[in-house]
Chains A and B, each alone.
Chain A
Amino acid sequence: MEKKLKVAALKDGTVIDHIPSDKLFKVVHILHLDTCLNQITLANNLESKKIGSKGIVKIADRALADNETNKLALICPDAKINIIRDYEVVEKRPLVLPDEIREIVQCANPNCITNNQPVQTRFFVLKDAENTHLKCRYCEREVKVEEVKIK
């Protein structure tokens, strides 16, 4: 009840919940919400049992494209996406990184072909028990997922 008072309900659209508070404005940036004309509700520093302090983004009348959910999976992999129809959650979409990410990440290697010629970036997602790395398909450099530069 208290939560509903803090964050307005959404009739149709997408809710991104459980965003770590320090990542909220990065989410705003990578989804280009600053130039989005849909109704948007932002809330931050809300109490969260799971992560302590969280942010929420509600975007009316908009579904996220695959490359947008991939971007979210890179910066806040534990966030949750809820699809809302007529005030009801009709789908909970987990954020899962695919085996390969195209275009949305810039290679950190300045001498990589993708930073010097019109070539779409492609990264393999390498996961082990401790870390997730991205490996550039072209120059083969690896970078920790926390250090990637999102376009």
Chain B
Amino acid sequence: MAGKKENGKIIRNNTMSKNSLVSISDYSKDEILSILESAAGFEANPNQKTLDGKVIATLFFEPSTRTRLSFETAVIRLGGSIIGFSDAATSSSSKGETLNDTIHMVSCYADAIVMRHPLEGAARYAAEISPVPIINAGDGANQHPSQTLLDLYSILKTQGTLENLTICLVGDLKYGRTVHSLLMAMSHFNPTFKFIAPDELKMPDEYKVFCKKHNIKYTESTELNDNFNDADILYMTRVQKERFLDLMEYERVKNVYTLKNEMLAHSKPNLRILHPLPRVTEIDPDVDTNEKAYYFKQAQNGLYVRQAILSKVLIQQ
């Protein structure tokens, strides 16, 4: 077992030899802050050989650019080596191999496994059966904890604090795993949320219940306009075609919001725009040159955060 339950949360079992990261809720507030502090150290000095002699497997059963490249760059900068695949069609899963068998086989070769998988819960299951640590690089619409940690790092860097911020979440709040994980992670820091989404993609009730239980203030709206003028962070998301079971629904909402430069005129000076990328039409390219656009730097921050995660996972084994 990867952990036990307390108050409905999964608590990792510290007696285990492995130290998987499956969900942001696996980390306490102190552990999150420790990762962010470690990431700052890697930003100051990216080439630290903490993984010298280690082999890391990157198993990407689903396409990825930023996540895979930044994890692989992190391994290389830490002195480790990489094995793996970036397309499930080139792995034995295309022959019908179960995830159980793939994980057991790869763990014979690697000291840790970074995995993205289209099925929700795949990472938790892999962490249960794997003798080496699993780092979840996204399991369907469920969890993507390294993205959440790099989002937190970006917020901390741009605002100087994580406490008492107003965060505006825009776009696909129904299927978007990044906004769900960010909401849960920020619950440690007394945030105020503004949810902006079309009715078809509004924040699921379970997360609003979560907010109420944690005394987190939130408002909901279907209009973007200048609804973010009091926000510190504007977190834009793409409407993800791959998450829709009903493509008619996707067609109705795919271009629902587009942020343009002129819409930022009355926003707070400290506002920063984040986006997990890739973007499609939700941020007009004319925003890119605005000093409030932070999404490319945010992607760069992913490297340092993933260095911190890999180091924590492997050094604590």
Would B118 and A111 count as touching, CB distance under 8 A?
yes
Asked if B292 lies at the interface with its beta carbon under 8 angstroms from chain A, I say no
B11-40 vs A, CB cutoff 8 Å, 1 = contact: the mask equals: 000000000000100000000000000000
How many residue pairs link A and B with beta carbons under 8 A? The number is 59
Chain A: interface secondary structure?
loop
- In the complex formed, the residue of B with least CB distance to A124 is B5
**CB-based contact B124/A137 at 8 Å:** yes
Give A126 to B209 CA distance when docked, in angstroms.
Answer: 13
Among B23, B125, B141, contact of A119 (Cβ-Cβ < 8 Å): B125
> For the complex, what is the distance from the CA of A137 to the CA of B23, rounded to whole Å?
11
Judge whether B251 is part of the interface by a CB distance below 8 angstroms: no
Asked whether, in the complex, the Cβ of B8 is within 8 Å of the Cβ of A112, the reply is: no
Please name the residue on chain B nearest to A118 by beta carbon: B98
Question: Interface residues of B, CB < 8 Å — how many?
Answer: 22
Check B140 for interface membership: any CB of A closer than 8 A: yes
Contact B5 A111 (CB under 8 A): no
**In the bound complex, do residue A111 and residue B120 qualify as a contact, i.e. CB atoms below 8 Å apart?**
yes
Residues of chain A having any CB pair with chain B under 8 Å: 99-100, 109-114, 116-119, 124, 126, 135-142
Q: Is the CB of A112 within 8 A of B98?
A: no
Q: Which one of B100, B140, B206 contacts A139 once the chains associate, using CB atoms below 8 Å? A: B140
Can you list 23 A-B contacts with CB-CB less than 8 angstroms, sorted by A residue number? A111-B119, A111-B120, A111-B140, A112-B120, A113-B119, A113-B120, A113-B122, A119-B125, A124-B5, A124-B10, A135-B8, A137-B121, A137-B124, A138-B121, A138-B125, A139-B120, A139-B121, A139-B139, A139-B140, A140-B120, A140-B121, A140-B143, A142-B206
